[in-house]
């Protein structure tokens, strides 16, 4: 039997077994990833610091996906601009808002661009193509077209001349214009067997003169008759009559303001060049032709 003074707590110590190996290597992987990212970041800063604006724009284009709007970098830490296209041509908001690059970052204090956005390349192109310049002189083709329009418009809109529009034929050619004033029978341009112009002819000429006065062209006037034989007792016939009518036209044109040096030829050809070739006796063959052409010295220019 054991006595009470020998009754005491018994403490049993169990030695821990030593664990072989390390505690784990996950932290090393995370640390390596961090150092790699940090190295890449500093490498990127080093590349950007030594690149000019063109190289930076090339880098931006290279790393921009095709489906994402292009991004233009105009300076490191100064401005990044994105190109925005209008949703619809009929959208009033899109139509009234510049569709060029819009600013999404701060700008340099020395930048000349405004806070509303960077320069729109499409607007720049439009300004270049529509930039006002000194008005160039009209080409001969434009002058002739304008003269023809002026003549035809006058006869179409003026009541007094509208009835005479059928007596007038205006046609353009490569080096000038031809005007035919035709006798329709019921409205003769000259008195019968005479070289005296009728009032209708003078009215027509009054509208023609302003339109052709400024054209830089020579004027040739040719008189025509029909094939009806005509001869007076003193031998005066169609040839003399057609020539006198051409000369009467010359005098009337001078009275209407045409410069005398512009008229370089006056001739009569009787019925040798009919307008209605199938019927030389047709009244429309009685006419005066005003031929406007470039001077010979300009033909070779």
- CA distances in angstroms from 257 to 5, 72, 223, 288, listed in the order given: 157, 65, 20, 18
Least confident of 19-23, 143-147, 176-180, 226-230: 19-23
Q: What is the mean pLDDT of residues 100-111?
A: 46
289 pLDDT band (50/70/90 cuts)?
very high
- CA distances in angstroms from 247 to 6, 57, 134, 163, 216, listed in the order given: 166, 76, 42, 26, 21
219-271 pLDDT tens trace: 999 999 999 988 888 999 999 999 999 999 999 999 999 999 999 999 999 99
135 pLDDT band (50/70/90 cuts)?
very low
Q: State the DSSP code for 190.
A: B
Q: Say whether pLDDT at 149 is over 70.
A: yes
Q: What is the mean pLDDT of residues 171-182?
A: 91
What is the per-residue pLDDT for 50? 80
Please compute Rg for the chain using Cα positions: 48
Q: What whole-number percentage of the chain has pLDDT above 70? A: 67
Whole-angstrom distance, CA of residue 25 vs CA of residue 34: 15
Q: Give the mean pLDDT of the chain.
A: 76
Q: Say whether pLDDT at 83 is over 80.
A: no
What is the per-residue pLDDT for 67? 53
> Do the bridges between strand 218-224 and strand 263-268 make them parallel or antiparallel, or are there none, so unpaired?
parallel
Any residues with CB less than 8 A from the CB of 167 and at least 6 apart, and which? 181, 182, 183, 184, 187, 189, 200, 204
73 pLDDT band (50/70/90 cuts)?
very low
Q: What is the mean pLDDT of residues 135-152?
A: 80
From first CA to last CA, the distance across the chain in angstroms is: 149
Q: What is the mean pLDDT of residues 283-290?
A: 93
193 pLDDT band (50/70/90 cuts)?
confident
**Helix ranges, the chain (H):** 26-49, 53-62, 92-96, 121-129, 140-157, 159-162, 199-213, 238-255, 296-299
What is the per-residue pLDDT for 76? 45
What is the per-residue pLDDT for 293? 93
Q: Say whether pLDDT at 19 is over 60.
A: no
The SS3 of residue 237 is: strand
Q: What is the mean pLDDT of residues 129-158?
A: 74
Q: Which domains does the chain have, with CATH numbers?
A: 35-108 (no CATH), 140-299 (3.30.1330.60)
Whole-angstrom distance, CA of residue 174 vs CA of residue 67: 53
């Amino acid at each position: 039997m054991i006595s009470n003074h020998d009754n005491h707590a018994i403490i049993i110590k169990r030695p821990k077994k030593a664990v072989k190996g390390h505690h784990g290597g996950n932290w090393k992987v995370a640390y390596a990833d961090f150092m790699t990212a940090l190295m890449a970041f500093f490498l990127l800063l080093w590349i950007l610091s030594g690149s000019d604006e063109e190289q930076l724009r090339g880098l931006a284009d290279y790393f921009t996906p095709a489906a994402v709007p292009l991004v233009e970098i105009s300076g490191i830490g100064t401005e990044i601009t994105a190109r925005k296209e209008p949703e619809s041509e009929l959208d009033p908001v899109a139509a009234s808002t510049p569709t060029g690059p819009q600013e999404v970052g701060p700008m340099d204090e020395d930048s000349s661009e405004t806070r509303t956005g960077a320069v729109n390349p499409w607007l720049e192109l439009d300004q270049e193509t529509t930039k006002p310049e000194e008005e160039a002189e009209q080409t001969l083709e434009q002058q002739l077209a304008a003269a023809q329009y002026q003549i035809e418009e006058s006869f179409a809109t003026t009541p007094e001349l509208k009835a005479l529009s059928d007596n007038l034929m205006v046609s353009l050619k490569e080096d000038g214009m031809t005007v035919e004033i035709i006798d329709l029978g019921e409205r003769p341009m000259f008195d019968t067997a005479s070289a005296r112009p009728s009032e209708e002819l003078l009215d027509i000429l009054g509208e023609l003169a302003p339109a052709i006065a400024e054209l830089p062209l020579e004027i040739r006037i040719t008189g025509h008759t029909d094939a009806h034989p005509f001869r007076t007792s003193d031998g005066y016939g169609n040839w003399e009559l057609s020539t006198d009518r051409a000369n009467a036209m010359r005098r009337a044109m001078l009275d209407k303001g045409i410069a005398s040096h512009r008229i370089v030829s006056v001739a009569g050809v009787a019925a040798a060049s009919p307008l209605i070739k199938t019927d030389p006796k047709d009244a429309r063959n009685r006419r005066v032709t005003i031929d406007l052409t470039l001077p010979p010295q300009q033909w070779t220019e």
